[in-house]
Amino acid sequence: MPFAVLSKRAGFLLASGRVSRSIQAMARRNSAGMSDSVYGDLLERARAVVPRLETNLHKGQAGRIGIVGGSVEYTGAPYFAGISALRVGADLVHVFCCQSAAMVIKSYSPDLIVHPVLDDHCAMEKMEKWLDRLHVLVVGPGLGREHAVLENVAALLKHCRHSGIKVILDADALHLLTLDFSLARDLSGAILTPNAVEYRRLFGETKSLNDLREIIGKEVTVLEKGLSDKIYDVTLTNQVYYVPPGGSARRCGGQGDLLSGALATFYCWALNCKQETNPALVACFAASILTKHCNEEAFREKGRGTLCCDMIEQIPKIFRKHFEHF
Ligand SMILES: NC(=O)C1=CN([C@@H]2O[C@H](COP(=O)(O)OP(=O)(O)OC[C@H]3O[C@@H](n4cnc5c(N)ncnc54)[C@H](OP(=O)(O)O)[C@@H]3O)[C@@H](O)[C@H]2O)[C@@H](O)CC1
Ligand SMILES: Nc1ncnc2c1ncn2[C@@H]1O[C@H](COP(=O)(O)OP(=O)(O)OP(=O)(O)O)[C@@H](O)[C@H]1O
């Protein structure tokens, strides 16, 4: 049913002339991508990984997430990712950013714990004591492309490979991978979240799972963002999952940051859920539909003026409607 609902909504947008002709054509093509039963199964599994809120839980047990990013130019991206992780339900978020970004990010929100370490020559030493406490790291939002920072991030990824910390690689971390893909190849449990252009920079025109597996190895999941998000699962099912199109045609910046933060929290929960056999797949699906619903709902209220902050505001309502236990 949820698939049908999304398709109906797409139909409404088409009828009201609120999406362009090329989007209409893509929506028709992509809506054939995932059957109702696959959608229903993934939604059930996503709901099942959400931890019940019980009074015996202590702070941190519902998720300690790290966001690695934030530079002098980009302070919004790590904020969007971090606050979205918290709004989905993580307990604690640590942001590891450049010195110049730290005060700015702190001033956006007292809920974020901010470490100004990323451009420090002792960055790894300073981060290490926190890393083992974190469940999932999102690496990339607002990172920038400074050589010294990227070197520190490369060292961080080597540390994660060694210690088994699960990472989501987004934005400028994907640029780092275009320089050295060995940092992510076969990185156990890693999730890559490229947009259309990042996907092309990393993988060219490669769309077949077999060809993709040659590049990424057998332990990495790719979520390619677009009108219909595609989840390339080479780890277990060897399938591509096409999330039905949703949301609006409003493409304000930061939506990918919202998605990566939400993904971190769902991933943390899915990894912690003993019954879930494919945590990365379920988390990608959940974050994808949550982001699309937030966009749709914010667009309903704000239209062309919709901003990422408006979408983040929708997270609690959307989460409650689609994922909460009652
Ligand atoms: N408020 C903040 O702090 C925000 C900060 N952010 C941070 O900014 C940093 C740089 O990220 P980025 O994606 O802008 O940079 P980059 O890889 O150079 O790509 C730009 C080029 O790619 C193209 N292009 C982009 N998307 C495309 C698509 N879907 N489909 C097709 N083409 C597409 C586009 O092409 P053009 O339109 O110019 O022809 C453009 O030339 C990163 O750290 C990120 O986290 C953002 O998160 C937003 C909010
Ligand atoms: N053409 C589109 N129509 C509808 N939704 C889209 C479209 N392209 C991307 N999205 C959705 O927007 C969200 C973010 O994807 P996007 O491609 O904008 O990422 P991004 O470029 O990394 O974002 P950011 O602005 O944070 O850097 C995803 O949920 C994706 O499904």
Reported pTM: 0.92
Give me the pLDDT at residue 2, please.
34
Domain presence at residue 112: yes
The answer to whether 242 is a known ligand-binding residue is: no
Domain presence at residue 56: no
Question: Ligand 2 centre from 251 Cα, in Å?
Answer: 7
Domain presence at residue 25: no
Closest alpha carbon to 110 in 79, 71, 68: 79
Type of residue found at 246 = G
Protein residue closest via CA to atom 4 of ligand 1: 77
Give me the pLDDT at residue 154, please.
98
Q: Could you tell me the residue range of the domain that residue 259 belongs to? A: 62-292
Convert the pLDDT of each residue in 14-42 to its tens digit. 333 333 333 343 344 444 468 999 999 99
Measured distance CA(91)–CA(265) in Å, rounded: 9
The answer to whether 229 is a known ligand-binding residue is: yes
Tell me which residue has tokens 């469940």.
135
Domain presence at residue 219: yes
Consecutive 10-residue averages of pLDDT for the chain (326 residues): 34 34 39 81 98 93 97 98 98 98 98 98 96 97 98 98 97 98 98 98 94 96 97 96 96 98 98 97 98 98 98 98 90
The CATH number given to whatever domain includes residue 157 is 3.40.1190.20
Q: What is the predicted ipTM?
A: 0.96
Domain presence at residue 323: no
Q: Which ligand is nearest to the CA of 141?
A: 1
Give me the pLDDT at residue 238, please.
95
Give me the pLDDT at residue 308, please.
98
Domain presence at residue 200: yes
Domain presence at residue 299: no
From the alpha carbon of 291, which atom of ligand 2 is closest? 29
Convert the pLDDT of each residue in 57-104 to its tens digit. 899 999 999 999 999 999 999 999 999 999 999 999 999 999 999 999
Measured distance CA(296)–CA(139) in Å, rounded: 27
Q: Which ligand is nearest to the CA of 30?
A: 2
Domain presence at residue 312: no
- How many domains does the chain contain in total? 1
